[in-house]
Amino acid sequence: MARSPVLARWPRLADVLCGLAIGLGQAPLGLWPLALLGLAGLLARLDRSSGWRAGAWTAWRTGAAYFALTLHWIVEPFLVDVARHGWMAPFALVLMAGGLALFWAAAGALAGGLRPGLSRGLGFALALMSAEMLRSYVFTGFPWALIGTIWIDTHAAQTAAFWGLHGLGLATLCILVLARAQPLGRGLATGAAGLALLTGLGMLRPDPPAIPPDAPVLRLVQPNAAQHLKWDPGMIPIFYARLLDLTARPAPGAPPALVIWPETAIAYRLENAGPLLSQIAETAGDAPVVLGAVRGTPAGATNALAVLDATGIPAQIYDKAHLVPFGEYVPFGDLAARLGIRGLAVAEGGGFLAGPGPQVLDFGPLGRALPLICYEAIFPNFGRARLAEADWMLQITNDAWFGQFAGPQQHLVLARFRAIERGMPLVRAANTGISTVVDATGALTDALPLGVAGTLDAALPPALATPPYARLGDLPLLIAMIVSLVGLMTRSRARAH
């Protein structure tokens, strides 16, 4: 096959263009055909690289461009308080993109040591997905911008119920590798057949049962409190009044059985907000209220979710267990504070304390819910041990930190994949959006868009049977990938001798 002029004259530019193309497949654009072209270009570049060093640099450049485009929203939290944190914004983007690209570089280096062609392509696919799984867990984990998420609005996304997002990403790469290993016409046919098979497997998954006409109704309240104004003393009572007004709106149908406010909905410590909590409960009538607030404990503050009873007393409390590094806490916080580095979400140097772990909340006729606060919904493994006790998932979040474009939409995509992987609905109340009810196939039954204040009254969809991935997690796939990769490397070295 002739080498293209771009690859021949500007190979480094070609790497960057491949990374940008892959990034365009992620939300909010969702241009997955361009992502497939970018991945195919990366495979072609790796196949032409000479040795592990060239493979590492090729994959790193592609990965850095991909993460820089996909995660450009990472600068948004630093711009909320520009005077205090603005100087960190460019460093955050560069370090995030370059650091995450190191996982791709490791996979490229390993592939560069294999024989060109099918062995190198499959080796890279296995190594990259193993590295992506690693970054989903190490250093508290960051499973954002995974390749498999490009499929969210297609039938292929449903296969995540069988093998998770890493399995979906591996299947995508393997289809491209097999297609590239053949002449152009046959390769296109192989690629089309592979994508058709992936789609067909997803279509085998059943739709959730219909929602009964008399199903209880949930009310999601979205106040749209901009982050730079949220803690302004002059705006705090305005946002609180807005929350009350939205809660008190007459229901178009049956009255809500549960009212849900977003993360840190009130700007007062939970333990000091007794009169307000009573007022909130009175406004909601007979419906209990879920809300987010900072909670003080003898050991320190937590990011909490509270369930208020009819008198305003927090009958159930969940403290967020998986905190955001450098957002909700700073490692070695006291030392970092002396250097002028503080968590974005709190003033204290050390930040929030982590809660004891996942738990399940009992909502009586509405069933039992696994609570997730913001970032916790991006982790496929979070709360998996408690899934058998839950009927649905409840996420409260404040995506105002992420701006009004890519960040909130990518966050929602990850929450939708949790519904697919677990076969259970997810209810999501977000401060500035997107507040929505997600059924067990990841589809939105209804939603409030970004940047508006309003309420959403919706019934809770039923669950599906527990999928294989919810029971098994990533371990079987990880073992299979490592065994396959070791076998491939052994075979390649044997042929070399």
Query: What residue type is assigned to position 276 of the chain?
Result: L
Two tokens, residue 325: 């590094």
pLDDT at residue 347, rounded to an integer:
46
Question: In whole angstroms, how far apart are CA 205 and each of 7, 191, 391, 476?
Answer: 41, 22, 19, 21
DSSP helix, strand, coil percent of the chain (3-state; round to 5): 55, 15, 35
| Distances from the Cα of 29 to the Cα of 66, 235, 300, 407, angstroms | 14, 34, 41, 12
Contacts of 485 (CB under 8 A, 6+ apart): 110, 123, 126, 127, 130
What are the residues whose beta carbons fall under 8 Å from the beta carbon of 356, sequence distance 6 or more?
319, 321
Q: Among all chains, which residue has been given the structure tokens 């497997």?
A: 201
**CB 307, CB 316: distance < 8 Å:** yes
- Tell me 405's DSSP state: T
- Closest CA relative to residue 460, chosen from 217, 213, 209, 208: 217
Return the number of other C-beta atoms located less than 10 Å from residue 195's C-beta: 20
Residue carrying the six token digits 């491209």: 176
Distance, CA of 154 to CA of 201 (rounded, Å) = 12
Query: Is 18 known to be catalytic?
Result: no
* Cα–Cα distance measured from residue 343 to residue 328, given in angstroms and rounded to the nearest whole number: 6
Whole-angstrom distance, CA of residue 464 vs CA of residue 420 = 9
- The helix (run of H) or strand (run of E) holding residue 288 is none
The answer to whether residue 374 is catalytic is yes
Which one, of 229, 230, 232, 261, lies nearest residue 246 by Cα?
261
Name residue 122's amino acid.
L
Q: What is the pTM of this model?
A: 0.94
The catalytically annotated residue of 263, 328, 376, 421 is: 263
Tokens encoding 495: 């042929």
Strands 426-430 and 314-319: unpaired
At residue 206, φ and ψ (nearest 5 deg) are: -70, 155
pLDDT for the residue 326 = 82
CA 15, distance to chain mean position in Å, is: 26
Would you say 295 and 269 are in contact if contact means Cβ atoms under 8 Å apart? yes
Confirm whether 263 is a catalytic residue.
Answer: yes
User: In sequence order, what are the beta bridge partners of 197?
Assistant: none
Alpha helices in 204-332 (DSSP H): 227-230, 236-248, 274-284
- How many Å apart are CA 152 and CA 165, to the nearest integer? 10
In this prediction, the residues of the chain whose per-residue pLDDT falls under 50 are 1-2, 335, 338-339, 347-349
E-strand stretches of 237-386: 258-260, 289-297, 300-308, 314-319, 361-362, 368-373
The torsion of the CA quartet 295, 297, 303, 308, rounded to 10 degrees, works out to: -40
Sign of the Cα pseudo-torsion (376, 378, 408, 438, in order):
negative
| Backbone dihedral angles phi then psi of residue 476, each to the nearest 5 degrees | -60, -40
* DSSP symbol at 431: S
Catalytic residue among 76, 320, 328, 421: 320
Q: Three-class SS of residue 304?
A: strand
- List residues bridging with 200 in a β-sheet: none
Strands (E) across 133-281 are located at: 217-222, 258-260
CA dist list (Å): 293 to 2, 278, 327, 345: 61, 15, 16, 12
**Residue 348: what pLDDT?**
47
3-state secondary structure of 287: coil
Question: Beta-carbon neighbour count of residue 283 at 10 Å?
Answer: 17
Q: Using an 8 Å Cβ cutoff, are 462 and 211 in contact?
A: yes
Tokens 């990472």 sit at which residue? 74
Q: In what helix (H) or strand (E) does residue 15 lie, and over which residues does it extend?
A: helix 11-23
Lookup: tokens for 469: 């991935």
